[in-house]
Amino acid sequence: MRTLIVSHNGRSRTDLPHTAIAEVLRDPAATLWLDISDPAEEDVALLREQFGFHPLAIEDAVRAHERPKVDAYGAPGDDDGDGVPDDLAPSEPLALSGLAAGSANDAPHNIATEVAPLADADQGGDELSEAMLLPLEPTPAAAVGAAGVGYYFVVFYAAAYNKTADHIETHAVNLFIGANYLVTVHAGVVQDIADTMARWRAPRSPLGSRVSALVHALLDAMVDDYFPLMDQVADRIEELEDTIFVNFDERSIEVMFRLKKDLLAMRRIVAPERDVLNVLLRRQLPIFGPEDIAYLQDVYDHIVRVTDNIDTYRDLLSSALDSYLSLQSNKLNQIMKLLTIASILLMSAALVTGFYGQNFRAFPELDWGIGSAWSLILMALITAGLMVYFKVKRWL
């Protein structure tokens, strides 16, 4: 499903046909946001033909469980068009293969649609055969989309707490960030995208018409959703501590391992997202201006706080697990101690009955009339003596 919003001179519209995207991309006064959920083949074709995105970026966008990352396509110094700046020098002008800077007569060139050379592994030489070239035919729209400043491809994650399953669910959100467009690709429904779009379409929206403001609003919304998750994890840890130390519910071990697994999954997401924001803060591409640094830094600070919370809660869970195992061991020791004392008491009684159960003819007290009562009294005295001894030793 696609949702397309175009803002032009403060007015937004959603009825624009997808075939008009190329015209919108040519207009620097227009801002476009295209959201694609559950991408199909026609959506992939749209990304390839209308925007001219790199095939590797499109492949990562439609693939599930991609690691959070950021790739800069058409970045300064990216002469080979592989999406990785060769020298990471943001102050240098955009280098496009075969395009002279400032030439008005040259046709727009798309760094993502350049012929991608592949190394000749068999010959080991520098020359490439036609069979080893990957031609990506540029379209007019694709040329417009990347000939200016390039674009970022970002993989970020939204998270939500599933109360029914008592589990943290994550949803990958893929962003193509250009000078005047934002394309989001994801599976299922991501509420943060719908809420941010609604904020943008609202009258007198504070988001304005800058793509950088939309990106900040979306990333900030997704990161801010992490904090309620951390609060819920903290509440669950408190409940677990009460369960362990008060009721000693053995089912709490299952909850602890599930929480540790969720926190580990969140850690694997949040740590790379911090690196993503680091790259965006460098401003390799002139998409984010100096005025955007403070906003991106704010999101970065939130990510750092979430990372610290995750590490803290993982330590608390590890401590709770150690406490549970210690209590379990102490409980087992108490049981073993009681069983040992009971066996000693029974052995003392068995010693008396065994002694008087010997089959000898001339056995003392064999004809004694109170022999049975005497043996019972003797067993009781021995048992009482052992109990007093155990009490003195504080074994009971």
pLDDT tens per residue, range 128-186: 333 323 333 333 334 334 345 789 999 999 998 888 877 888 999 999 999 899 999 99
Q: Copy the structure tokens of residue 312.
A: 């803290």
* Whole-number pLDDT of residue 343: 92
* Whole-number pLDDT of residue 184: 94
Per the model's pLDDT, the better-predicted residue between 380 and 148 turns out to be 380
Residue entry with tokens 């893929």: 174
- Beta-bridge partners for 134: 116
Of 88-97, 248-257, 322-331, least confident by mean pLDDT is 88-97
Residue 254 has pLDDT above 50, yes or no: yes
* Whole-number pLDDT of residue 176: 96
Read off the pLDDT of each residue in 383-392 and give the average, rounded to a whole number: 90
* Whole-number pLDDT of residue 148: 56
Of 187-196, 226-235, 244-253, 376-385, least confident by mean pLDDT is 244-253
Residue 86 has pLDDT above 50, yes or no: no
Residues 21 and 44: their CA atoms lie apart, in Å, by: 15
Q: Read off the pLDDT of residues 38-48 as tens digits, 9 standing for 90 and up.
A: 999 999 999 98
Read off the pLDDT of each residue in 218-246 and give the average, rounded to a whole number: 89
Contact yes or no for 276/303 (Cβ under 8 A):
no
Per the model's pLDDT, the better-predicted residue between 140 and 72 turns out to be 72
* Whole-number pLDDT of residue 75: 54
* Whole-number pLDDT of residue 298: 94
Share of the chain above pLDDT 90, in %: 31
R_g of the chain computed on alpha carbons: 36
Of 25-29, 49-53, 109-113, 192-196, least confident by mean pLDDT is 109-113
Read off the pLDDT of each residue in 254-274 and give the average, rounded to a whole number: 91
Q: Read off the pLDDT of residues 93-144 as tens digits, 9 standing for 90 and up.
A: 333 223 233 333 333 333 333 333 323 333 343 333 333 233 333 333 343 3
Q: Read off the pLDDT of residues 305-331 as tens digits, 9 standing for 90 and up.
A: 999 999 999 999 988 888 888 888 888
Residue 52 has pLDDT above 50, yes or no: yes
Name, in order, each residue with C-beta under 8 angstroms of 17's C-beta and a sequence gap of 6 or more. Answer: none
* Whole-number pLDDT of residue 36: 92
Mean pLDDT highest for which of 2-6, 111-115, 142-146, 374-378? 374-378
Name the average pLDDT for the chain: 78
φ/ψ of 359, rounded to 5, equals: -95, 75
* Whole-number pLDDT of residue 114: 33
Per the model's pLDDT, the better-predicted residue between 114 and 58 turns out to be 58
* Whole-number pLDDT of residue 131: 31
What does the H/E/C string look like for the chain? CEEEEEEECCEEECCCCHHHHHHHHHCCCEEEEEEEECCCHHHHHHHHHHHCCCHHHHHHHHCCCCCCEEEEECCCCCCCCCCCCCCCCCCCCCCCCCCCCCCCCCCCCCHHHCCEECCCCCCCCCCCCHHHEECCCCCHHHHHHHCCCCEEEEEEEEEEEECCCCEEEEEEEEEEECCCEEEEEECCCCHHHHHHHHHHHCCCCCCCCCHHHHHHHHHHHHHHCHHHHHHHHHHHHHHHHHHHHHHCCCCHHHHHHHHHHHHHHHHHHHHHHHHHHHHHHHCCCCCCCHHHHHHHHHHHHHHHHHHHHHHHHHHHHHHHHHHHHHHHHHHHHHHHHHHHHHHHHHHHHHHHHHHHCCCCCCCCCCCCCCHHHHHHHHHHHHHHHHHHHHHHCCCC
* Whole-number pLDDT of residue 285: 83
Instruction: Measure CA of the first residue to CA of the last residue in the chain; give whole Å.
Output: 71
* Whole-number pLDDT of residue 58: 93
